Structure 1
Amino acid sequence: MTNDIQKQYDRLEDVPSIMLRMKEVYAVPDRHIIYVATKAFFETKMAKRLSVQSHGVKMLSLVQKVEGLKIGLDNDTTIDVILQSLPPSYDLFIINYNMNGLEKYINELINMLVQYEAMAHKSTPTVLVGEASTSKAKGKRAGR
C-alpha cells in the first residue's frame, strides 16, 4: 500500500470501516448487473404508439445506468444503439443523420427526433371519407 493510501485509511477506526471504504472506491460491479444493464440497453426497441420523446427519455435512463457501471461505451456507439432502437418509420431520419455525418450528443439527438416526429405528423396525408350513397338516392336518379 502506498503512503498516500495508507494515510487515508489510518483515520478509520476499524477493519469493517476500512473494507467498506475500499469497496466504495475500488469495487467492480457485479458481472450480472453489467449483463442485465447492457442487455436492456442494446435490446430496447421503441414501442408502438410511444412518443419518440418518451422513448428518448427511456434510452437516456438506460445510458445513465450503463455509464454508472463504468463500462466505457463511447458516444458514437451509444448514438448507434439509440438509432437502431427506432422503428422503420424513422429510417429517413437515420439515413439523413448518417449521410450528413452529424455528431451529436444524446440530448441533441433526442431533440432532433422530437422535431422530426412533429414534422412527420404534420405532413401525414389525410384521407377524406364521404358518406356512402343509399339505395333510395340511386333509385331516384334511375327513375328520372
Structure 2
Amino acid sequence: MLLTMDLEIKRNLTHLGAYDMLKELKAMFSKQAEQELLQTVREFHTCKQEEGQSVSTHLLKMKGYIDNLERLGQPVGQNLVVSLILVSLNKDFDSFVQNYNMHGMGKTVNELHAMLKPHEDTLPKKDANPALHAIRA
C-alpha cells in the first residue's frame, strides 16, 4: 500500500500496520468524500442541457455524474436517473418527454439514449449565426 501513496502521506503512515493504516486513511479522506458527494449531487440535480448541445454530449455528462455517485458509494436507481435526465433536457424535447411519460416506457439510460438520438435528428436545425441567415435572405 505504501508504494502507491504520495510521499507526504507515506511518511505519516509508515509506522502503522495495514489495518490501522486503512483506518487512518479513511479518517483522512472521509470528509473530502462527503464534500465531493454533496457537490456531485448538486451538479447532477441542477444539470440542464445547454442550447445547441447535442443530446449525446449531455447524456455523457449525466452518466459521468451517475458513475461518480456510484464510485462514492451512492448508486442511484434507474428510474430516478431516467427521470432526472428527462427533466434536464431542453424545451426541444418536451414532446418526447411527454410521450415517454404517457407511455410509461421504463427504459434504461442506454435505451433512453438510443431513443433520444433519432428524435434529436428530427428536430429543426437552428442556425449558429442568425446574422448570416439574414444576409442570405
Asked if these proteins are the same fold (TM beyond 0.5), I'd say yes
Match of 1:51 in 2: 54
Task: Write the distance in 2 (CA, Å) between the matches of 1:20 and 1:115.
Answer: 52
Is residue 92 from structure 1 mapped to residue 133 from structure 2 by the alignment? no
Task: Write the distance in 2 (CA, Å) between the matches of 1:34 and 1:42.
Answer: 12
Map 1:1-144 onto structure 2 (within 5 A): 15-22=16-23, 30-121=33-124
**Shift, 1:106, TM fit:** 0.8
Contact residue 66 and residue 75 of structure 2 kept, 8 A: no
Contact residue 59 and residue 113 of structure 2 kept, 8 A: yes
**Shift, 1:38, TM fit:** 0.4
**Shift, 1:74, TM fit:** 1.0
**Shift, 1:61, TM fit:** 1.0
Q: Secondary structure at the match of 1:15?
A: coil
Which residue type is aligned with residue 19 of structure 1? Answer: D
**Shift, 1:119, TM fit:** 2.2
Task: Write the distance in 2 (CA, Å) between the matches of 1:21 and 1:121.
Answer: 56
**Shift, 1:97, TM fit:** 0.6
Which residue type is aligned with residue 86 of structure 2? Answer: L
* TM-score for the superposition, normalised by structure 1: 0.66
Aligned length: 111
Structure 1 segments (4+ residues) deviating >6 Å: none
Match of 1:8 in 2: none
**Which structure is higher in helix share?**
2
**Shift, 1:28, TM fit:** 5.5
Match of 2:129 in 1: none
Task: Write the distance in 2 (CA, Å) between the matches of 1:66 and 1:72.
Answer: 6
- Alpha-carbon RMSD: 2.7
User: What percentage of aligned pairs have identical amino acids?
Assistant: 26
5+ long unaligned stretches in structure 1: 1-13, 123-128, 133-144
5+ long unaligned stretches in structure 2: 1-14, 126-133
1:60-116 CA-to-partner distances (Å, cap 9, x unmatched) read: 111111121122421111111111111111110001111111111111111211111
Contact residue 66 and residue 76 of structure 2 kept, 8 A: no
* TM-score for the superposition, normalised by structure 2: 0.69
